[in-house]
């Protein structure tokens, strides 16, 4: 039977995948957001991950928000989000919803592949029972599953889907080979067939947990060096002259992966009776960085003789990383809100972010252009175009203090760096 693929979820992960498969095989991109589907049909991608030309290049790709349109597919790839809830535990509702939905249309011989980041064992423990219950079919007899963790880097135009090696796995040896061959048809960097789905799930979880722990280490150094009146960036520059030093930089750790995935790993470990020390200590350090940044900004204003109540602050950047519109789990929002709690007037400017999305998600109004004079300027995200801002004039006209979290601005214009 000829493969016909349905991509479930058309966000930062699903859309690039749909485009690449749509160049090779009949592919249907499915999303419950009808507005998103209509935009994509017009060649518009608000995530900026795909250009109109790239969308047009996928000759066999179609889009739909109608579940009935994907019934004829025999391969389903699930790329829905897997966030955490207010208690920092896995929120599997989108994954459960997608599994129940697919179970209702699943046929004998179909394969469901999950790309959503989960804890080891989640596919077989949570998703498979839902597929069986809704379909009445038997796992590994009537239908099969695979797991291939996403490695998309939002905003990165060099390390893209096809140029990053893909980890694959399947619920049986034959299905593992089938899934690996499927991805090999679009991934030019090659694939790695993991020993099991649980191994593939674990590999994704530890990739981001490792980065989180490493960043938490330099964030803790930043806390220490601040008390010593030492510039952390200077220390890292000196230390990185040794060939085997890993130059991670301090900062606010947000986004859909690094600030979320370690909690999935910790959740599973605690369910098995093990309390992870290193993973959770790293999370605590990184989660508290927004409070440190706010306190530092307040101290800088006081030292400069500024009156705190009513002082005007400009935050440059609200996305979770540079040069992309992705605002998911951005810690800049925490900084913004804490500064306001101190009685400061806070403006936020970000030409990359979608104003309506920022307003809906965080209640933050983005200014269209910088007109006011500010007592303090906080560079939170190092978007390339921020280098074109006349920081020198902004600083001089209002005698403002400048706090650079990214080591991005000219050193002579900055009062402090993280």
Q: What is the pLDDT of residues 171-181, one digit of tens each?
A: 999 999 999 99
Q: Angle at the Cα of 32 (from 91 to 155), degrees rounded to 5?
A: 70
What pLDDT shows up at residue 1?
Answer: 62
Mean pLDDT confidence for 79-97: 94
Q: Angle at the Cα of 15 (from 323 to 109), degrees rounded to 5?
A: 150
What pLDDT shows up at residue 258?
Answer: 85
If one looks up domain 204-286 in CATH, what number appears? 1.10.1040.10
Secondary structure (3-state) at 142: coil
> Are the C-beta atoms of residues 141 and 171 closer than 8 Å to each other?
no
Q: What is the pLDDT of residues 209-265, one digit of tens each?
A: 999 999 999 999 999 999 999 999 999 999 999 999 999 999 999 887 888 999 999
On the CB side of 340, CA atoms within 13 Å amount to 12
What pLDDT shows up at residue 48?
Answer: 83
Q: Residue 156 above 80 pLDDT?
A: no
Secondary structure (3-state) at 167: strand
Nearest Cα neighbor of 160 from 172, 168, 152, 148 is 152
Q: Residue 355 above 90 pLDDT?
A: yes
Domain spans of the chain, in order of start: 5-201, 204-286, 289-417
Q: What is the pTM of this model?
A: 0.92
To the query of whether residue 145 is one of the catalytic residues in this protein, the response is no
If one looks up domain 289-417 in CATH, what number appears? 3.40.50.720
Q: Beta 345-349 vs 312-316: how paired, if at all? A: parallel
Catalytic, out of 73, 127, 257, 324: 257
Ranking 51-55, 141-145, 155-159, 343-347 by mean pLDDT, the lowest is: 155-159
φ and ψ at residue 358, rounded to 5 degrees: -65, -40
Class of domain 5-201 as given by CATH: alpha beta
Say how many C-beta atoms besides its own lie within 10 A of residue 168's C-beta.
25
Q: What is the pLDDT of residues 298-314, one digit of tens each?
A: 999 999 999 999 999 99
115 pLDDT tier (thresholds 50, 70, 90): very high
Mean pLDDT in the chain?
A: 94
Sequence-ordered list of residues with C-beta below 8 angstroms from that of 382, at least 6 positions apart, any chain: 317, 322, 406, 408
> Are the C-beta atoms of residues 149 and 116 closer than 8 Å to each other?
no
Distance between CA atoms of residues 60 and 247, nearest Å: 43
Q: What is the pLDDT of residues 314-329, one digit of tens each?
A: 999 999 989 989 999 9
Q: Residue 50 above 70 pLDDT?
A: yes
Q: What is the pLDDT of residues 116-147, one digit of tens each?
A: 999 999 999 999 999 999 999 999 999 999 99
Provide long-range contacts, Cβ within 8 A and 24+ apart, for 176-184: 176/146, 178/111, 178/146, 179/111, 179/113, 179/146, 179/148, 182/3, 182/75, 182/113, 183/148
Q: What is the pLDDT of residues 372-407, one digit of tens each?
A: 889 999 999 999 999 999 999 988 888 899 999 999
Domains 5-201 and 289-417 share a fold: yes
What pLDDT shows up at residue 28?
Answer: 97
What pLDDT shows up at residue 257?
Answer: 82
């Amino acid at each position: 039977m000829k493969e016909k693929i349905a991509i479930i979820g058309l966000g930062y992960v699903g859309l690039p995948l749909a485009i690449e498969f749509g160049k090779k095989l009949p592919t249907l991109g499915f999303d419950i957001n009808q507005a998103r589907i209509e935009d994509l049909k017009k060649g518009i991608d608000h995530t900026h991950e795909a250009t109109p030309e790239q969308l047009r290049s996928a000759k066999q790709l179609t889009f739909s928000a109608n579940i009935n349109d994907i019934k004829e597919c025999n391969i389903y790839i699930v790329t829905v989000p897997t966030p955490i809830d207010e208690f920092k535990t896995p929120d599997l509702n989108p994954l459960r919803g997608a599994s129940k939905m697919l179970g209702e249309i699943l046929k004998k011989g179909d394969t469901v592949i999950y790309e959503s980041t989960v804890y080891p064992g989640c596919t077989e423990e949570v998703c498979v029972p839902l597929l069986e219950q809704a379909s009445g079919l038997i796992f590994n007899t009537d239908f099969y599953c695979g797991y291939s963790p996403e490695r998309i880097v939002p905003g990165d135009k060099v390390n893209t889907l096809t140029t990053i090696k893909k980890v694959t796995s399947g619920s049986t040896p034959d299905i593992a080979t089938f899934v690996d061959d499927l991805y090999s048809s679009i991934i030019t960097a090659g694939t790695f067939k993991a020993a099991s789905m649980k191994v593939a799930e674990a590999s994704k979880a530890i990739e981001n947990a490792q980065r989180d722990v490493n960043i938490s280490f330099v964030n803790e150094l930043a806390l220490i060096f601040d008390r010593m009146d030492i510039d952390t960036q200077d220390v890292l520059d000196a230390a990185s002259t040794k060939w085997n030093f890993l130059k991670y930089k301090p900062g606010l750790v947000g986004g859909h992966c690094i600030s979320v995935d370690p909690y999935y790993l910790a959740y599973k470990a605690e369910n098995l009776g093990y309390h992870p020390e290193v993973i959770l200590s790293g999370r605590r350090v990184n989660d508290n960085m927004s409070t440190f940044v706010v306190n530092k900004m307040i101290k800088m204003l006081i030292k400069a003789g500024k009156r705190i109540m009513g002082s005007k602050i400009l935050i440059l950047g609200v996305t979770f990383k540079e040069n992309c519109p992705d605002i998911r789990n951005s810690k800049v929002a925490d900084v913004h809100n804490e500064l306001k709690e101190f009685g400061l007037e806070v403006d936020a400017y970000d030409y990359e972010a979608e104003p309506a999305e920022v307003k809906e998600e965080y209640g933050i109004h983005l200014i269209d252009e910088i007109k006011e004079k500010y007592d303090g300027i906080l560079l939170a995200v190092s978007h390339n175009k921020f280098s074109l801002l006349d920081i020198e004039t902004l600083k001089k006209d209002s005698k403002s203090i400048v706090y650079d979290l990214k080591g991005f601005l000219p050193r002579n214009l900055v009062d402090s760096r993280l």
